[in-house]
Amino acid sequence: MSGIRTTCAYCGVGCGISATVTGARSVEIRGDADHPANHGRLCSKGTHLGETTSLEGRLLHPMIGTKRAGWDKALDLVAKRFRDTIAEHGPNSVAFYVSGQLLTEDYYVANKLMKGFIGSANIDTNSRLCMSSAVAGHLRAFGEDVVPASYSDLDQADLVILVGSNTAWCHPVVYQRILAARAARGTRIVVIDPRRTETCEDADLHLAIRPGSDVALFNGLLAHCRDAGLLDEAYLSRSVDVPDDFWARQGEGSDLWSVARDCDVPPADLRRFFELFAAHPRTVTLFSQGVNQSLRGTDQVNAILNVHLATGRIGKPGAAPFSITGQPNAMGGREVGGLATTLAAHMDFAPENVARVGRFWGTPNVAAKPGLKAVDLFRSIGEGRIKALWIMATNPAVSMPDAGAVREALAACPFVVVSDCIADTDTTRLAHVTLPAAGWGEKDGTVTNSERVISRQRRLFDLPGEAMPDWWIIKEVGRRMGWVGEFAYSRPADIYREHARLSTYQNAGARRFDIGRHAAISNADYADMAPWRWGGEGFADGRFSTPNGRARLVPVAQAPLQAPLARWPMTLNTGRYRDQWHTMTRTGLSPRLSSHRREPMVEVHPLDATGLGIAEGDLARVATPQGESIFRATLSEGQRRGELFTPIHWTDRQSSGGRTGLLPRALVDPHSGQPGFKATPASVTRVAVEWRGFLIARDEPGAIDALWATRVRVAQGWLVELAGDGDPARLVRELLPRGERIETIDSARGQMRHAVLSDGRLVAALYLSRDHSLPPRDWLIAQLSEAAGPTPVELLAGRSAAPAPDCGPIVCVCFDVGIKTILAAIADRKLASVEAVGAALSAGTNCGSCRPAIQRLITNAQEVVNG
């Protein structure tokens, strides 16, 4: 069986996969050795994609309310409600909210329907929350949203600066590529992040800057470059416009001491950073959400671009500013113009562009001005001005800032359509119509990754139930709204050809985004298309997409850094876990991926925690003016004092706590409209609970009424962590299935342990404790998979009668290796490298995602030894 070449479902690295279908819904995943993004490597998420292709939880039929409906009926209803709303209230009373997880073909049709035919630009995307500051920064500096970098620059760089990027967890294959380059040629790595993440493990230098002080840092670097004679005067005079007062404004407050103070880093570290930069012209500055998701995101982007332009470190091998994208097709969305602020094919709303796109699409109706950006869009829904909304491939009831207000807006909106693969999400719960979309492995089309490489995603499985691809659903609604000929696509290739033709239509070199070479691609060639990069090597010719062909330095000043507020003394930073993807609709199906972090945790600096009376493992309430939610507290030296970090992944579906989305405020960057997710004024307090416990169950438990109940998948079942007040006996009645019961109640110690067996096999176990002592979960979880059941004595002890080592939390999910096993091996066998640990335990030798964590354990052990 030879593999089908496709791309990974997750991040913007865009790894190629070779997939061998082994059954109706099963597939073997291998990295595609020929794909330029990954050359065969995959991270933990890509490696375990095969665990997410079951039909569990899938939306398989169109639904109107809670009733199943045929496609005709559902599509007619959507078309009619949109048509009626437009007739009564005008085109701006309707909106689409779409996603970087759509394929380019889906995105193109959605954009064409809204901007070209409905005649409104009220289509925005979750990329607004993700990339829009980078887009706005690129437009200001380059005149076009082009990422002037490729992964091969990372292979050739001497210095890689990672700014606001937890690359080791969020773009693991890129991270491995950087480490490979370091091994081969000694590349230096600098990480700029307020937190000490696993990305810092292999860094030469980590600057734990004050959040939001990135402009001060890069302006300081630029001033240093000027003083040290590092500006590339020839490049500046040939290729860059510099505003008259640029250098005068730039100089203020940019001396080393002031910058060190603003950024709150040791001056010696800052000097070291400047010296590394001076010594290594081949520099790539790779940046992500720590830069973009800020109220000053666009200025932060331009502060980075200014440094690269002024030193000529752009458009050359190994030298580039590199905005790395999050979602698999964030870039494709930018290319079709899926943001409310862009029109199509890298054109904006200038009158000549509106006219040109209208000619091409054959419509007089093209929207003449930008539409509402995501945060304004949902505000407008809440205010009743938008009356019909169609959400595709995103879960805004979780992922928008101030998600509580977003839910209220959705609940009040007269007509909400959601296209998703999953039946029950926090957003589908608020829909009037839900449409079953084809998911990864069923979809067919193209995506563009961070380095502008267009790759095919190919279908592996038949469409399940009545699911249909997004492009089909959208064009069917377009046709039913009256535009039959304009939406007459039969296959993704039809759409791709049209998209390619639009990109080249009357372009004449004005826009780099020109994929005209595929304007007439045959169906067969489209089917076989190999990955390819548009726009060549970016701006290697030193010409930019501005009217005069020159890039621009953009004056940016550090915004005042605010002192904490008395009522909200902490700053909440939010982000990702290594093995979960966003709202967990897919990675949450994988027991292996769920073993890395089983609960949503709030990370607190130990000294802050002591002051607040919070201990490791306590529950803690994080509150902001927008809302509050409870997390498991974990103390971390990697946090700055005064800062908290929580993960974005948990939703109402899995949890009564850990709801990060409720906490950030709906404030945005003035240029891009991107929310400042990384710094929300907050407070944290310990939550005292009378009892704690956990449930292990083969069948998915229903809704659980407890103060704290967070669930994850485990092999053959579910694990729910529980805590609350009052009489927990109620839970025993509510949560345990019928069957042979074994139980022990130790009232003196406040312990209750119940296990339910069926035919001698464990089906559920509930352990509750008032003194908070509970057995490790893993042995019990393993019993769900054992054919021969455990003995009653073992069950009630929560451990095997034969003494077995407790391996601790899993670090390597590919080989199930726990932290205690690794620590013991490091100590006993004197292992001093990640390779040695791999040779001894296999840990870290498959996907490699856990290698930074293993490195951290080795470093810690050595620090202990060396005192």
Ligand X SMILES: Nc1nc2c(c(=O)[nH]1)N[C@H]1C(S)=C(S)[C@@H](COP(=O)(O)OP(=O)(O)OC[C@H]3O[C@@H](n4cnc5c(=O)[nH]c(N)nc54)[C@H](O)[C@@H]3O)O[C@H]1N2
- Binding residues for Mo ion, rule: CB under 5 A, are 130, 326
168 binds ligand SF4 (CB under 6 A): no
Nearest to ligand X of 280, 443 (CB atom)? 443
Token pair for 710: 């967070």
173 Cβ partners below 8 Å, 6+ apart? 13, 15, 37, 38, 41, 42, 43, 46
The three-state secondary structure class of 405 is: helix
Nearest to residue 694, comparing CAs of 775, 748, 616?
A: 775
Q: If you ran DSSP here, which 8-state letter would residue 427 be given?
A: T
Give the residue, chosen from 105, 153, 402, 470, that forms a contact with ligand X under the rule CB under 6 A: 470
In the complex, minimum distance from the CB of residue 403 to ligand X, in angstroms, rounded to a whole number: 8
Measured from the CB of residue 643, what is the shortest distance to ligand X in angstroms? 9
Residues 324-383 that bind ligand SF4 (CB under 6 A): none
- Show the site string, 668-697: x = touches ligand X by CB under 6 A, - = not: ---------xx-------------------
The label of the residue with tokens 């306590």 reads: 618
Q: Which residues of 471-505 are buried (b: 16+ CB within 10 A; e: fewer)?
A: bbbbbbbbbbbebeebbebebbbbbbbbbbbbbbb
The interface mask with ligand X, positions 213-252, x = CB under 6 A, is -x--------------------------------------
How is residue 487 written in tokens? 């939406």
Based on the shown chain and the rule CB under 6 A, indicate whether residue 190 belongs to the binding site for ligand X: no
HSE-up (13 A, CA, CB side) for residue 16? 21
Of 582 and 761, CB closest to ligand X: 582
Residues in the chain: 867
Residue 698 binds which of ligand SF4, ligand X, Mo ion, none (CB < 5-8 A, kind-dependent): none
471 binds ligand SF4 (CB under 6 A): no
Among 27, 437, 447, 735, binds ligand X (CB under 6 A): 437
Among 117, 581, 691, 767, the residue binding ligand X under the rule CB under 6 A is 581
Of 18, 53, 120, 395, the one binding ligand X by CB under 6 A: 395
Burial of 804 (0-12, 13-18, 19+ CB in 10 A): exposed
**Phi and psi, residue 847, nearest 5°:** -80, -25
| Among ligand X, Mo ion, ligand SF4, none, partner that 293 touches (CB below 5 to 8 angstroms by kind) | ligand X
Measure Cα distances from 677 to 297, 301, 662 in Å.
11, 16, 11
Least distance in angstroms from the C-beta of 694 to ligand X: 25
Site string for ligand SF4, 41-80 (x = CB under 6 A): -xx-xx----------------------------------
| Nearest alpha carbon to residue 474 among 456, 492, 497 | 492
Q: Give yes or no for residue 370 binding ligand X (CB under 6 A).
A: no
Q: How far is the CB of 447 from ligand SF4 (least distance, A)?
A: 10
Distance CA 486, CA 363 (A): 9
Q: Using H for helix, E for strand and C for coil, what is the string for 784-832? A: HHCCCCCCHHHHHHCCCCCCCCCCCCEEECCCCEEHHHHHHHHHHHCCC
- Identify which of residues 11 and 303 has a Cβ nearer to ligand SF4 in the complex: 11
User: Is residue 13 involved in binding ligand SF4 (CB under 6 A)?
Assistant: yes
Looking at the Cβ atoms of 38 and 132, the one nearer to ligand SF4 is 38
Q: How far is the CB of 300 from ligand SF4 (least distance, A)?
A: 24
DSSP single-letter state for residue 243: -
Using alpha carbons, select from 469, 477, 414, 487 the residue that is nearest to residue 73. Answer: 477
Which member of 6, 53, 101, 150 binds ligand X (CB under 6 A)?
A: 101
From the list ligand X, Mo ion, ligand SF4, none, which binds 13 (C-beta under 5 to 8 Å, kind-based)?
Answer: ligand SF4
| Nearest alpha carbon to residue 673 among 298, 331, 406 | 298
Interface stretch with ligand SF4, choices 167-175, 375-383, 794-802, 816-824 (CB under 6 A): 167-175
Residue 813 binding ligand SF4, by CB under 6 A: no
Distance from the Cα of residue 316 to its chain's centroid: 29
Specify the residue, 122 or 425, whose C-beta has the smaller distance to ligand X.
425
| 492 belongs to the binding site for ligand SF4 (CB under 6 A) | no
- The residue type of 320 is A
- From candidates 385, 491, 576, 621, binder to ligand X by CB under 6 A: 576
Binding partner of 678, given Mo ion, ligand X, ligand SF4, none, CB within 5-8 angstroms per partner class: ligand X
- Looking at residue 537, the DSSP 8-state letter turns out to be T
Selected range binding ligand SF4 among 10-18, 432-440, 483-491, 645-653, rule: CB under 6 A: 10-18
Our CB check for Mo ion shows the closer of 130 and 719 to be 130
Taking the complex as a whole, the smallest distance from the CB of residue 664 to ligand X amounts, in Å, to 5
SS3 category, 355: helix
Count CB atoms within 10 A of the CB of residue 627.
Answer: 18
Cα torsion at 7, 9, 11, 13 (round to 10°)?
Answer: 0
With CB under 5 to 8 Å by kind, the binding choice for 399 among ligand X, ligand SF4, Mo ion, none is ligand X
Which listed option, Mo ion, ligand X, ligand SF4, none, makes contact with residue 219 (CB within 5 to 8 Å by class)? Answer: none
Tell me, rounded to whole angstroms, the distance of Cα 27 from its chain centroid.
24
Q: Does 655 bind ligand X (CB under 6 A)?
A: no
With beta carbons less than 8 A apart as the criterion, state whether 196 and 208 touch: yes
Token pair of 457 as six digits: 């995603």
**Cβ closest to ligand SF4, residue 152 vs residue 685:** 152
Residue 137 in contact with ligand X, rule: CB under 6 A: no
Per CB under 6 A, the list member of 113, 392, 807, 841 interacting with ligand X is 392
Give which of ligand SF4, Mo ion, ligand X, none residue 170 binds (C-beta under 5 to 8 Å, depending on kind). ligand X
Tell whether residue 165 is a contact of ligand X (CB under 6 A). Answer: yes
142 binds, among ligand X, Mo ion, ligand SF4, none (CB under 5 to 8 A by kind): none
| Region near ligand SF4 per CB under 6 A, out of 9-17, 292-300, 680-688, 808-816 | 9-17
In whole angstroms, the minimum distance from the beta carbon of 104 to ligand X comes to: 12
Cα gap 279→273, rounded to integer Å: 10
Q: Is 709 in the site for ligand SF4 (CB under 6 A)?
A: no
| Sole window of 105-113, 122-130, 171-179, 246-254 interacting with ligand SF4 (rule: CB under 6 A) | 171-179
First to last CA, the chain: 55
How far, CA to CA in Å, does 798 sit from each of 694, 712, 729, 736, 792?
12, 19, 19, 17, 10
> Measured from the CB atom, is 291 or 344 closer to ligand X?
291
CA 406, CA 608: separation in Å to the nearest integer?
32
227-242 burial by CB neighbour count: b if 16+ within 10 A, else e? eeebbbeebbeebbbb
Tokens 């069950």 belong to 795
CA distances 608 to 198, 599, 686, 838, Å, are 22, 21, 12, 36
Alpha carbon distance 842, 12 (integer Å): 28
Q: Does 110 engage in binding with ligand X (CB under 6 A)? A: no
For ligand X, the binding residue among 166, 176, 219, 683 (CB under 6 A) is 166
For ligand X (CB under 6 A), the number of binding residues is 60
Residue 78 Cβ vs ligand X, minimum distance, rounded to whole Å: 14
E-only strand ranges, 294-407 = 320-323, 388-392
Query: Residues interacting with ligand SF4, by CB under 6 A?
Result: 8, 10-11, 13-15, 38, 42-43, 45-46, 171-173
Query: Residues interacting with ligand X, by CB under 6 A?
Result: 11, 99, 101, 126, 129-130, 163-166, 169-170, 192-195, 197, 211-212, 214, 288-291, 293-294, 326-327, 392-396, 398-399, 419-422, 425, 437, 439, 443, 470, 573-576, 578, 580-583, 585, 648, 660-661, 664, 677-678
